[in-house]
Structure 1
Amino acid sequence: MTAGPPDGDVRYRVLDFDQLQGWQNDDHGAALEVFLTTCRDMKEPDWQALCQFAGQHPEPRQFFELFFRPVLMEDGKTPLFTGYFEPELDGDLYRSERFRYPIYAMPPEAETSELWLTRREILDGEVLDGRGLEIAWVDDPVELFFLQIQGSGRIRLPGGRRIRVGYRGANGHPYRSIGVELVRRGIYEPHQVSADVIKSWVRRNPDEGRELLYHNPSYVFFREVSKVPAELGPLGAMNRSITTLRSIAVDPAYVPLGAPVWIEKEGERTMNRLMVAQDTGSAIKGAQRADVFFGTGDKAGREAGKLRDPGRMVVLLPIQRAYALLPGSTL
């Protein structure tokens, strides 16, 4: 069935589970466990009822097939899957000659302003100096830039201790991709661009590289979240730990946070998997746009950086909620 909402921005199709490629081969139990980590924070009565039943440990595949319907949401934009991860940076709690690039907490004036200073104005100015907003200091401004893109990370301190930082807020300016800018300048072709390629270019061209980083006016502030155990993933937008290759970032204007989402990723390494929408991102906009969480550390970063593929994502919604999206519905 094909339908359009009142505003006409999105087309909805309610599918059958046998229309999901590879559905029967997935580990539905793993997806159910991830669903349980955040479903209790979903306040609507239908989600709460499903969460309560899920906590009784039903047969996982049967649970999803009995109580949900797959809904394909299309807004006319090209589907795109990318990856993200939790980086690890070397740093210290005190500034030194090596560790001189600060990770900032959010200043009060940025919290109350819809549009605050740009990245250039923050880093070239003195507005944050001497205010005790530094959570830690790191040794690499390029890695710090990518920490802001990822939104969370771990800092390795001298002596082996680690602290974890998570997204607190931003300055309100739109995110601009420096990879896209390198392509626009003719420096690379689209298929050549990855996080490692960008980092290498910036380091080889320090003056131009600094200006390239300023192309993105968005600036992210952090908070320390070291209370999260090391064996768990970083906190997502629902303030719960996210799970490697089972959590995705979505656009909450289309996909309810906490909802199961079926992924059919194309490309060199296909991926057919049930995930849970537990995070958001400033660059994740649209009904068919998702960011797959790959885990923590350099290996996860390399895998995440390779991902830029088309495909299809299908949201699993409670039955009544799914059919209520169709025009003329009296549910």
Structure 2
Amino acid sequence: MFLRLSVWPRVVGLCVLLSACATERVADCPPCAQVPPVTQSTPVPAPAPAPVAPKPQAVTPPSAPVASPAVAPGRLVAARWTDLPGWNADAMEAAWPAWQRSCRVLRKEAAWAGVCAQADALGDAPPRAMVRQFFDRNFRPWQVRNADSSANGLVTGYYEPLIRGSLDRNAQHAWPIHGVPQDMVSVELAGIYPELKPLRLRGRVEGNRLVPYWTRREVSAQGEAFPAPVLAWADDPIALFFLQVQGSGRVELPDGSYLRIGYADQNGHPYKSIGKWLVEQGELKLSDASMQGIQRWARTHPARLRELLDQNPSYVFFRPLPDNNDGPIGALGVPLVAERSIAVDRQTVPLGAPVFLDTTRPNTNQPLRHLVMAQDTGSAIRGGVRADFFWGFGDAAGAEAGRMKQNGAMWVLLPKGLAPR
């Protein structure tokens, strides 16, 4: 489809659609994964606030499709290894498989090729002391700061859920798991606005105009007339909703086999929290607005289920994935590793980079201090010190993820001689 330039001001004014190829939880599809640019220098200069392209939620400019992000990005400040609490205590050999997966992508960047080659030489299972020595010798820590220079932020959790479903619709399995719709148009913006390289415009053609794509409410209202393939039929609408929030998962079929699905695309509308809406309505206390609390409310108020779900206009579309023992695919394009992968705001943290995370386990003061890899993103993961911790697959991981809302600090590890811009 060819869009005339004269159409753009009208398109931009109408569409709340500028978002990185995103789900609620896993905000980028693998083809959009980009490592933010860095400059190689010796000696390393003091970092300056990074100039970044904005990632707007809504677009209302008079002449150009550029708007301020809802949350300001952060910056990286030079640090010392002694600043990292628990650095010498972490069982960081558990992070080595995740680091090797990051290198599948990072080695394509000249600044990372050397350290990835050195990692190859250590093999697949180096001992703990060798892993720590590798990072001590080859990397330098940079503390993540928020835009206001504060050093603490929010750490939440996510996981790969399991839901029940069927390849055929029946009375028990009546909730469609949609693939990408045929009428959705996705426009890359970099050709016209290079500063919007990570962003896409999503919509549909109505007459000679590109208009916002259907909201969740509008998708549901169309029923079987909605022009998208159905990959499977779920037996629980609230479980399906949270699978969309997580961005990937597995569907257990009646014969005991599994269909693994992952993020394919999204309708372009911003994510809105249904837990926040329940609190605002006086239906839940803030302390009960966890995934588990929302699920309990939904199952005790079936008549209001559709009203609840429609508060979030965002809708995620899936694609089938090979069913294997690897984790789901994150924004970097590699499988995630349980408790060693996180989602970040890539305006501050380079995608693929090692990060040392200092936080606590859900609902406790027990330290959780891990070397992790920034391998994913999320539309709700915005700002400097902001991370989503991947707990793994299944109900036990879901129980941890659903309760996790902790305070934390972060340090990005960059190869020596590499400084943030």
TM-score, structure 1 normalization: 0.91
Deviations 1:139-191 (A, max 9, x none): 01110100000000000011110010000110000101111112222322322
Partners of 2:349 and 2:48 in 1: CA distance:
16
Partners of 2:335 and 2:384 in 1: CA distance:
24
Tell me what 2:49 maps to: 5
Tell me what 2:110 maps to: 45
Q: Which runs of 4+ in 1 moved over 4 A?
A: 6-9
Partners of 1:9 and 1:295 in 2: CA distance:
27
Aligned-pair identity (%): 42
Partners of 1:6 and 1:306 in 2: CA distance:
33
Note if contact 1:2-1:12 (Cα within 8 Å) is conserved in structure 2: no
Tell me what 2:167 maps to: 93
| Equivalent in 371, 378, 383 of residue 286 of structure 1 | 383
| Equivalent in 337, 346, 359 of residue 252 of structure 1 | 346
- Cα RMSD of the aligned pairs, angstroms, is 2.0
Note if contact 1:40-1:48 (Cα within 8 Å) is conserved in structure 2: no
Partners of 1:288 and 1:192 in 2: CA distance:
24
Tell me what 1:329 maps to: none
Partners of 1:6 and 1:146 in 2: CA distance:
34
Segment drifting more, 296-305 vs 234-243: 234-243
Structure 2 SS opposite 1:23: coil
Unmatched runs of 5 consecutive residues or more in structure 2: 1-44, 52-71, 187-201, 204-211
- Please give the residue correspondences for 1:168-207 in structure 2 after superposition, counting only pairs within 5 Å: 168-207=264-303
Tell me what 1:65 maps to: 136
Partners of 2:98 and 2:185 in 1: CA distance:
31
- Please give the residue correspondences for 1:1-331 in structure 2 after superposition, counting only pairs within 5 Å: 3-5=47-49, 7=51, 10-42=74-106, 43-57=108-122, 59-74=130-145, 75-76=147-148, 79-112=153-186, 113-114=202-203, 115-126=212-223, 129=225, 131=227, 133-225=229-321, 227-229=322-324, 231-266=325-360, 268=364, 269-322=366-419, 325=421
The structure-2 alpha-carbon separation of the partners of 1:47 and 1:219, relative to structure 1 and needing over 3 Å to count, comes to: same
Structure 2 SS opposite 1:109: coil
Per the TM alignment, residue 3 of structure 1 is displaced from its structure 2 partner at its CA by: 4.9
Note if contact 1:100-1:139 (Cα within 8 Å) is conserved in structure 2: yes
Note if contact 2:154-2:386 (Cα within 8 Å) is conserved in structure 1: yes
Segment drifting more, 25-34 vs 169-178: 25-34
Partners of 1:12 and 1:153 in 2: CA distance:
33
Partners of 1:244 and 1:24 in 2: CA distance:
21
Amino acid at match of 1:171: N
Partners of 1:2 and 1:190 in 2: CA distance:
41
Structure 2 SS opposite 1:94: coil
Note if contact 2:219-2:226 (Cα within 8 Å) is conserved in structure 1: no
Note if contact 2:243-2:249 (Cα within 8 Å) is conserved in structure 1: yes
Partners of 1:170 and 1:9 in 2: CA distance:
23
Note if contact 1:228-1:234 (Cα within 8 Å) is conserved in structure 2: no
The structure-2 alpha-carbon separation of the partners of 1:177 and 1:64, relative to structure 1 and needing over 3 Å to count, comes to: same
Partners of 1:233 and 1:148 in 2: CA distance:
16
Per the TM alignment, residue 111 of structure 1 is displaced from its structure 2 partner at its CA by: 4.3
Segment drifting more, 72-81 vs 197-206: 72-81
Per the TM alignment, residue 301 of structure 1 is displaced from its structure 2 partner at its CA by: 0.5
Segment drifting more, 68-77 vs 97-106: 68-77
